[in-house]
Amino acid sequence: MAGERVRVTAGRQHEGILLQSPDEGLILLKLDSGYNVGINKKGAKITVLKQATKKTEMKVKKVVAKDLPKITILHTGGTIASKVDYETGAVISAFTPQEILERFPEIEEIASIESKLLRNMWSGDMRFAHYNVMAKAIVQEMKKNVKGIIITHGTDTMGYSAAALSFMVEGLTVPVILVGAQRSSDRGGTDAAVNLACAAHFITKTDFTGVALCMHENMNDDACVILPACKTRKLHSSRRDAFAAVNAQPIARVTKEGAVAWIEKPVYEEKKVKLTLMDEKIKVGIVRFHPNFFAEELEHYKNFDGLVIEGTGLGNGPVDVIDKETKEHDKILKTIATMAKKMPVVMTTQCVFGRIDMDVYAYGRKLQAAGVIGNGTDMLTETAFVKLAWLLSNYPGAVKELYLKNLRGEISERTLIQSEPSRLSHLGDKG
């Protein structure tokens, strides 16, 4: 029955948890690695190694450690708050904040923890309304004399949320660290414990203020890196070390034992705390230029409030008419010019690293003449998206001026000559 630990022999042996199979002729097994495998039932021998046990509720206890710094953990869900449903084999968002603390008691030795549930959702379901919920909660917790705030979050859109919160809450007096996990918290190989512990160590042992992310430095469980909110991207779909700073350096390195080493400590000017929320009705689109692009793809966004274009290379696009096959390009340019009169249209690059320079090629100049802005910036598309939405929500009359200004470290003063492409070459490896 589903939930039993079994050994299946069919030519070769597999051990794992038996799952409910949608096919009567198929044995579905959850391996210890976390992956599912389907085995033809015909001729297979199943040996039950351990009977299924009914899981009992974890005891919930409030952590009281008055002599330790206070940290609030705000939970939004994601893989870090998920577990495997052994009936279906799917990962479900299920753990409560208290259960996470029960599962990772080592955090209790670092700080006095108070947990609050904001949501229990996948990060792919995030909307501007959820950014507002998080931003309001941050401001509330800052009033309680906490040393810092950890936000547990799904990894898929964690970069968007980090950037959004950095714009929405100005003048932070405490660190706000977003933490995720690539493997669910009930798996033996989960990265959740180390990520949470490193975030807690960083908060308690530094004077950092602002928004950042904390994720694995590499595939080992030795250390994490603290990454800048507006310059970080998820570069691998499943590895623990999926996150890296782009056109920037990590802020710090933190070992699981708690040793902190600054890499590029940010300097913030002191400002009064100011909360500026997102207009939940603002519509900002993202369109990616590609070969055989049609103007019709832009027209889907004609009633939006803003548009981000992911151009090729330095911020280029199909706007040159060089033969009869490229007549569509004239229509593309005219459509962009029409849209740019009604809304801000901004340019980013599909490249991972580098800066926009639309002065180099003729079609870059044509795009600028059509009203596209963003020349000289090196913002990630995710950051450009949330910055544009935030500006439209709060400073609609100054969007084009403020978009080009570096407000939260989203635009590098100079292009960083970094070894990231070579360092990240391992991301194509199996693992």
Burial of 400 (0-12, 13-18, 19+ CB in 10 A): middle
Q: 72, 76, 79, 206: which is the annotated catalytic residue? A: 79
Has 326 been annotated as catalytic?
no
Residue with tokens 């007096």: 173
DSSP 212-262: EEEEESSSSSSEEEEEETTSEEE--SS-TT-EEESSS--SEEEETT--EEE
Among the listed residues 156, 256, 276, 312, the single catalytic one is: 156
- For residues 50 and 85, what is the distance between their CA atoms, to the nearest angstrom? 17
Q: Provide the token pair at 63.
A: 């952590």
Q: What is the C-alpha separation between 287 and 295, in angstroms, rounded?
A: 11
Supply 356's token pair: 């926009």
Point out the catalytic residue in the list 30, 234, 366, 387.
Answer: 234
* 76/100 Cα distance (integer angstroms): 12
Helix (H) or strand (E) holding 119: strand 112-121
In sign, the C-alpha dihedral spanning 123, 129, 131, 134 is negative
Residue 136 token pair: 């309001």
45, burial (CB in 10 Å: exposed 0-12, middle 13-18, buried 19+): exposed
In 3D space, the residue among 27, 89, 15, 83 whose CA is nearest the CA of residue 55 turns out to be: 83
366 included as an active-site residue: no
234: annotated active-site residue: yes
Residue with tokens 């003729």: 362
Per annotation, catalytic residue among 76, 155, 232, 377: 155
Q: What region does 165 belong to: left with phi over 0, alpha with psi -120 to 50, or beta?
A: alpha
Residues 51, 45 contacting (CB under 8 angstroms): no
Question: In the numeric block, which tokens belong to residue 271?
Answer: 């400002």
Please indicate whether residue 155 is annotated as part of the active site: yes
**CA 389 remoteness from chain centre:** 17
Report the C-alpha gap between 98 and 312 in whole angstroms.
46
Residue 329 and residue 321: Cα distance in Å, rounded? Answer: 6
Residues 419, 266: Cα–Cα separation, whole Å: 20
Active centre residues (catalytic): 79, 155-156, 234
